[in-house]
C-alpha cells in the first residue's frame, strides 16, 4: 500500500485525496436511503439475507462464476465443477463474515486465515495460512505481478497494524484499502478475490456504516464489470494519488450500487405488502 503525505495515519491521508470526500458522502447518502426505508423497520432481517445472497452472487461473478441470481438461490449442492465451487465458496464466506466482526479489530490476520479456510473447504496444509515461497497462486482472473512470500508477510503485518490501531479515516477508505491490499498481495494459494471482497464487507459492517449488512458492495463491483474492476485496481497498484483516489471512488460507487440494490428489494417488498 502506498501512502501520501506525512501523517502518522496513512488512511487519513488517503481520505484527503481529491474526490474521495465526494465518494464518501455519496456512499453515506445511499446507505442512509436504505436504512431510512420503512421496510427496514419491520423486515431488516429479510433485507440482510437477500443482500448476503446477492453479494455472494456478485463476488462469485467477478471470480468467473457469473450465475443468475435464481440459480444461486435454487441450488443446494455446490460440489460440482469449478464454477459451482466458486459460488459455494462465496456463499460460505458471506455467511461467515458476520461471525468474525468481534475478532477483526483485534486479530485481522486470524480472520483472514479463517476466511480462506472457509472458502477453500478442504484440509490441505496450504489452506488457512499465507502462501510460502514457491507455492503457486490460483487466481487466473487477476493477472498482475505477484509479490513474493516475504513481501506478502511484511505487508500483511503492516495492514494488520493499521486495522488494530484504528483510524479516523472514513470507513469507505479503510474498506477500499483492505480490499485493494489483499487483492494486490493475493496472500493465499486460492480464493483471494473472494476473501478480499468479503474483507471489505467486514470493514463496512464493523465500522458502523452498514451495521445490518444490507449494502452489498459486491453487487456493485459485479454490475460495474470485471474490466472496470481491474482498471481501478491498476490505479491501486500504481500507488499514485490519482490511482488510489480512483480505486477508492470505484469501491464507493460499488457500495452505492449495492445500497441501490437493497433499496429496490425494499420497494419490491413494500409493493407486495400493499
Tell me the H-state helices in 98-240: 101-104, 108-120, 149-165, 171-185, 192-206, 217-224, 226-238
Residue-wise pLDDT tens digits, 159-210: 999 999 999 999 999 999 999 999 999 999 999 999 999 999 999 999 999 9
Residue reference for cell 463476488: 59
Tell me the H-state helices in 63-170: 69-74, 82-97, 101-104, 108-120, 149-165
- The whole-number pLDDT of residue 273 equals 61
Q: What grid cell was written down for 223?
A: 454490475
Model confidence band, residue 2 (pLDDT cutoffs 50, 70, 90): very low
Helices 20-35 and 241-273, interaxial angle, to 10°?
Answer: 10
Q: Is the pLDDT of residue 150 over 70?
A: yes
| Distance separating alpha carbons of residues 253 and 67, to the nearest angstrom | 22
Q: Which residue has the higher pLDDT, 17 or 272?
A: 17
- The whole-number pLDDT of residue 53 equals 97
Helices 217-224 and 38-62, interaxial angle, to 10°?
Answer: 50
Characterize 117-127 residue by residue with b for buried, 16 or more Cβ atoms within 10 angstroms of its Cβ, and e for exposed.
bbbbeeeeebb
| Distance separating alpha carbons of residues 238 and 247, to the nearest angstrom | 10
Q: What grid cell was written down for 156?
A: 500483511
Cα 51–chain centre separation: 13
- The whole-number pLDDT of residue 3 equals 42
- The whole-number pLDDT of residue 113 equals 97
- The whole-number pLDDT of residue 1 equals 62
Residue 173 contacts residue 24 (beta carbons within 8 Å): yes
Q: What grid cell was written down for 134?
A: 514457491
Query: What's this model's pTM, rounded to 2 decimal places?
Result: 0.94
| Distance separating alpha carbons of residues 229 and 219, to the nearest angstrom | 12
| Distance separating alpha carbons of residues 173 and 24, to the nearest angstrom | 8
The dotted CATH code for 11-271 is 1.10.3290.10
Average pLDDT value for the chain: 94
| Distance separating alpha carbons of residues 241 and 5, to the nearest angstrom | 10
Residue-wise pLDDT tens digits, 127-142: 999 999 999 999 888 9
Q: What average pLDDT score do residues 71-94 get?
A: 94
- The whole-number pLDDT of residue 20 equals 97
Q: What average pLDDT score do residues 65-85 get?
A: 94
Model confidence band, residue 123 (pLDDT cutoffs 50, 70, 90): confident
Model confidence band, residue 79 (pLDDT cutoffs 50, 70, 90): confident
- Tell me the torsion sign for CA atoms 202, 207, 212, 215: negative
Q: Is the pLDDT of residue 21 over 80?
A: yes
- The whole-number pLDDT of residue 231 equals 97
Amino acid at each position: 500500500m502506498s501512502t501520501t503525505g506525512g501523517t502518522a495515519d496513512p488512511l487519513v491521508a488517503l481520505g484527503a485525496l481529491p474526490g474521495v470526500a465526494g465518494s464518501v458522502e455519496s456512499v453515506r447518502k445511499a446507505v442512509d436511503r436504505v436504512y431510512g426505508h420503512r421496510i427496514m423497520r419491520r423486515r431488516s432481517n429479510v433485507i440482510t439475507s437477500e443482500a448476503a445472497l446477492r453479494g455472494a452472487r456478485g463476488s462469485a461473478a467477478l471470480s468467473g462464476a457469473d450465475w443468475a441470481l435464481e440459480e444461486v438461490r435454487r441450488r443446494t449442492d455446490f460440489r460440482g465443477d469449478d464454477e459451482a465451487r466458486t459460488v459455494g465458496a462465496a456463499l460460505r464466506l458471506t455467511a461467515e463474515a458476520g461471525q468474525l466482526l468481534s475478532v477483526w479489530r483485534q486479530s485481522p490476520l486470524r480472520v483472514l486465515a479463517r476466511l480462506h479456510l472457509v472458502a477453500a473447504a478442504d484440509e490441505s496444509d496450504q489452506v488457512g495460512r499465507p502462501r510460502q515461497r514457491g507455492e503457486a497462486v490460483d487466481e487466473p482472473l487477476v493477472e498482475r505481478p505477484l509479490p513474493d512470500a516475504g513481501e506478502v508477510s511484511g505487508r500483511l503485518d503492516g495492514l494488520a497494524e493499521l486495522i488494530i490501531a484504528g483510524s479516523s479515516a472514513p470507513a469507505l477508505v479503510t474498506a477500499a484499502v483492505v480490499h485493494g491490499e489483499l487483492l494486490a498481495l493475493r496472500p493465499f494459494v486460492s480464493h483471494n478475490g473472494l476473501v478480499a471482497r468479503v474483507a471489505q464487507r467486514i470493514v463496512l459492517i464493523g465500522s458502523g456504516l452498514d451495521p445490518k449488512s444490507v449494502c452489498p458492495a459486491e453487487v456493485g463491483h459485479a454490475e460495474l464489470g470485471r474490466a472496470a474492476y481491474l482498471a481501478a485496481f491498476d490505479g491501486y497498484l500504481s500507488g499514485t494519488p490519482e490511482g488510489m483516489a480512483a480505486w477508492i471512488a470505484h469501491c464507493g460507487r460499488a457500495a452505492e450500487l449495492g445500497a441501490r440494490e437493497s433499496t429496490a428489494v425494499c420497494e419490491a417488498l413494500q409493493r407486495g405488502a400493499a
